[in-house]
Amino acid sequence: MPELPEVETVRRALAASLTGAVVKVVRGQRIAMRRPLEPRLLHEVLRGRRFQEASRRGKFLLLPVDGGGCLLIHLGMSGRLRLTRPERLVEAHTHLVVELDDGRELRLVDPRRFGLAVWLAAGEETTDPALADLGIEPFDPALEDRMPRLIRSRRAPVKALLLDQRLVAGIGNIYAAESLWEAGIRPSRPGRAISEGRLCLLARSIRAVLERAITAGGTTLRDFSGPHGDAGYFAVRLRVYGRGGQPCPRCGRSLRDDVIAGRSTVWCPHCQR
């Protein structure tokens, strides 16, 4: 699933390439996704509206238009946005096409249909169920101060807590594993068993890992790529994710692959305590 760096990569590309474009036509088929996709409704509310600069909340993209309201998008497990010319081959599982006044098309491709593309009227950005309960953003300057309060009262493994979008928004399995390795914290350690100082270090590690991933354009493992089809290159820099049984980049000992919170979790028994 695309996580914060992948979504932020898409956001930045759309901010540079989609801002100012006017919607001519929205077309597609009404299908079941995370919520029903309603191309006719989207056509009615978006036609003639000009896209403003894209924003992000956690793993969600918000594409605002002039006059208020926005198109809320989640890429699900395998979704992709394509900003392309109409003559380009339409990929299988393209469920939504937004025709723009400059001749380009914004296409939503989602083979597994776990994504989301819905209209939010002005003001619903704070009340919609998908966004209302999201936690603090990792790049919020207050994260380091708030991390101990978010984690230290909880018995769950810290890996599970990082995956809880109600605590910190945007972190998934890849960057939780990478951040915990960077901070030297065992993924199965209960939140309440981690000192305040180490949790502050974890907050800094999260930010550092995400910054590096965004700079590299995200992590392309199988499905993700940017709106122009470009792949992310952070996969070659992953220290632990997907490397179970291989040497730890820090100490050279073998990395373990356990299951925590129902997710595969690679970590170093020597470096992470």
pTM for this entry: 0.91
| CB-CB contact of 186 with 267 (8 Å) | yes
- Segment 113-125, tens digit of pLDDT: 999 999 999 999 9
Confidence of residue 229 (pLDDT cuts 50, 70, 90): low
Q: Phi and psi dihedrals of 266, rounded to 5?
A: -95, 135
What is the b/e burial string over 203-216, where b = at least 16 CB atoms within 10 angstroms of the residue's CB?
Answer: bebbbebbeebbeb
Residue 173 half-sphere exposure, CB side, CA atoms within 13 Å? 16
Residues 6+ positions from 64 with CB-CB distance below 8 Å: 51, 52, 53, 54, 55, 70
55-88: b or e for each residue (b if 16 or more CB lie within 10 Å)? ebbbbbbbbbbeeebbbbbbbbebbbbbbbeeee
- Residue range(s) in the chain whose domain bears CATH number 1.10.8.50: 143-267
What class has domain 143-267? mainly alpha
CATH classification number, 4-132, choose in 3.10.310.10, 3.40.50.2300, 3.20.190.10, 3.30.300.30:
3.20.190.10
pLDDT digits (tens, 9 = 90+) for 234-255: 444 789 999 999 999 999 999 9
Domain with CATH 3.20.190.10 in the chain: 4-132
Q: What is the DSSP pairing of strand 116-120 with strand 55-57?
A: unpaired
Token reading at 66: 């002039």
Q: What is the mean pLDDT of residues 186-196?
A: 98
pLDDT digits (tens, 9 = 90+) for 61-116: 999 999 999 999 999 988 999 999 999 999 999 999 999 999 999 999 999 999 99
Phi-psi group of 109: left, alpha or beta (phi > 0 → left; psi -120 to 50 → alpha; rest → beta): beta
Which residues are known catalytic residues?
2-3, 59, 263
Q: Report yes or no: 58 and 79 within 8 Å, Cβ to Cβ.
A: no
